[in-house]
C-alpha cells in the first residue's frame, strides 16, 4: 500500500546511515591501494583481507581460534557475573559490608587486568586458568561497581512509600530495589563483557598457543599483516555482536523504561 512506502524508505535510509561510514572507509582504503599509495606489506587492502579471511575460514583455523577465545571469555565472565552480582547486591544493601569491602574494591579497581598477567602466569602457569583469571578480573569490577551504584540509586520517594505502607524489607528489595537497579546492572554486564573480551585478547597476545590473540601474535612474527587485520576485525565484530545480544536482553527485561534515545 502507498502509505507503507514512506516508512520503508525511512528504514532503508536509516540502514544506509548505519553502514555508510564503514562502507566509505573500506572504499577509500581500497581506492588508496589502487592508486598506489599503500604498501600492501604494511597495510594490505580490504580485498586481500577478505581473501585471507576466506582462507582462514575454510581451513577452520579462524573458527577454532574464535571458539577458544569465546569459551575463555564465557568462563571468566560467568564467574565475574555471579560473584560481581552477588557481592554487589550484598554491598549495595548493607552499609556494614560496604565499609568492610570498599577500600579493597577501590584500590583493586584501577589496577589494569594486564598488570596481573605476570602473577597470573606464576600462579596458574600459561594454561587456561591464568587467562580465565585475567578475564574474571577485567569483568568483575565494572559489574560489581555498577550493581552497587544501581542499588544505591533507589529512589528515596519509593523508600518513603514503602515505609508508609510497612512493606517488608525482602519484598521491597525484590519489587523495588532490584528492578530499579536493573538498568545499571545491565550496563555493568555490558561493560564487563566488553572488558572481558579485550582482556582475552591481551592475555593471549602474551602467553598462549591458541585463541584470536595468539592468531594475531603469531601472524606478527611472520609479518602477515593481512592475518593480523583479519584477527583485529574479527575481535571488533564479535564484540559488537556480544554487545547487541546483551542490549536485546536488556530491552526485553526493561520494557517499562521510556528512555531518551536521541533525536
CB of 187 to another protein, least distance (A): 17
Q: Which of 98, 179, 205, 246 binds another protein (CB under 8 A)?
A: 179
43 burial level (CB within 10 Å; 0-12, 13-18, 19+): middle
Q: What mask of x and - would describe binding to another protein in positions 184 to 203, judged by CB under 8 A?
A: --------------------
* Cβ pair 203, 131 in contact under 8 A: yes
Residue 206 beta carbon to another protein: minimum distance, rounded to whole angstroms: 44
Torsion sign, CA atoms 190, 191, 194, 195: negative
Q: How far is the CB of 177 from another protein (least distance, A)?
A: 11
Applying CB under 8 A, the site for another protein has a residue count of 20
Tell me, what DSSP letter sits at residue 260?
Answer: -
Question: Of 15 and 254, which CB lies nearer to another protein in the complex structure?
Answer: 254
Q: x/- contact string, 139-178, with another protein (CB under 8 A)? A: ------------------xx-xxxxxxxxx--x---xx--
Q: Do 103 and 163 form a contact (C-beta atoms < 8 A)?
A: no
Long-range contacts of 38-46 (CB under 8 A, 24+ apart): 41/223, 41/225, 42/225, 43/225, 44/225, 44/226, 44/229
Among 46, 67, 78, 180, binds another protein (CB under 8 A): 180
For another protein, give the closer residue by CB, 221 or 261.
261
Residue 261: CB minimum distance to another protein, A = 15
End-to-end CA distance of the chain: 28
Q: Which residues contact 177 (CB under 8 A, 6 or more apart)?
A: 92, 93, 151, 154
Task: Tell the smallest beta-carbon distance from residue 171 to another protein (Å).
Answer: 7
Q: Judged by CB, which is closer to another protein: 167, or 205? A: 167
Site membership for another protein, residue 259 (CB under 8 A): no
CA dihedral 74, 77, 81, 87 (to 10 degrees): 140
Residues found near another protein in the complex (CB under 8 A): 157-158, 160-168, 171, 175-176, 179-180, 254, 256-258
Amino acid at each position: 500500500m502507498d502509505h507503507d512506502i514512506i516508512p520503508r524508505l525511512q528504514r532503508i535510509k536509516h540502514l544506509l546511515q548505519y553502514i555508510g561510514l564503514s562502507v566509505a572507509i573500506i572504499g577509500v582504503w581500497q581506492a588508496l591501494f589502487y592508486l598506489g599509495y599503500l604498501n600492501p606489506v604494511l597495510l594490505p587492502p580490504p580485498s586481500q583481507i577478505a581473501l585471507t579471511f576466506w582462507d582462514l575460514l575454510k581451513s577452520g583455523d579462524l573458527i577454532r581460534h574464535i571458539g577458544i577465545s569465546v569459551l575463555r571469555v564465557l568462563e571468566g565472565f560467568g564467574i565475574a557475573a555471579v560473584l560481581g552480582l552477588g557481592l554487589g547486591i550484598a554491598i549495595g544493601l548493607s552499609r556494614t559490608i560496604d565499609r568492610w569491602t570498599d577500600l579493597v574494591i577501590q584500590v583493586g579497581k584501577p589496577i589494569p587486568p594486564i598488570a596481573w598477567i605476570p602473577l597470573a602466569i606464576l600462579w596458574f602457569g600459561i594454561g587456561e586458568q591464568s587467562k580465565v583469571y585475567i578475564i574474571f578480573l577485567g569483568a568483575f569490577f565494572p559489574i560489581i561497581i555498577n550493581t552497587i551504584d544501581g542499588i544505591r540509586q533507589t529512589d528515596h520517594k519509593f523508600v518513603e512509600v514503602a515505609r508508609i505502607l510497612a512493606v517488608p524489607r525482602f519484598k521491597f528489595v525484590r519489587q523495588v530495589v532490584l528492578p530499579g537497579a536493573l538498568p545499571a546492572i545491565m550496563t555493568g554486564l555490558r561493560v564487563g563483557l566488553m572488558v572481558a573480551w579485550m582482556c582475552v585478547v591481551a592475555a593471549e597476545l602474551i602467553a598462549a598457543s591458541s585463541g584470536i590473540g595468539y592468531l594475531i601474535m603469531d601472524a606478527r612474527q611472520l609479518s602477515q599483516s593481512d592475518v593480523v587485520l583479519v584477527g583485529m576485525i574479527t575481535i571488533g565484530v564479535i564484540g559488537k555482536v556480544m554487545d547487541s545480544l546483551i542490549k536485546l536482553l536488556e530491552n526485553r527485561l526493561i520494557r517499562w523504561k521510556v528512555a531518551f534515545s536521541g533525536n
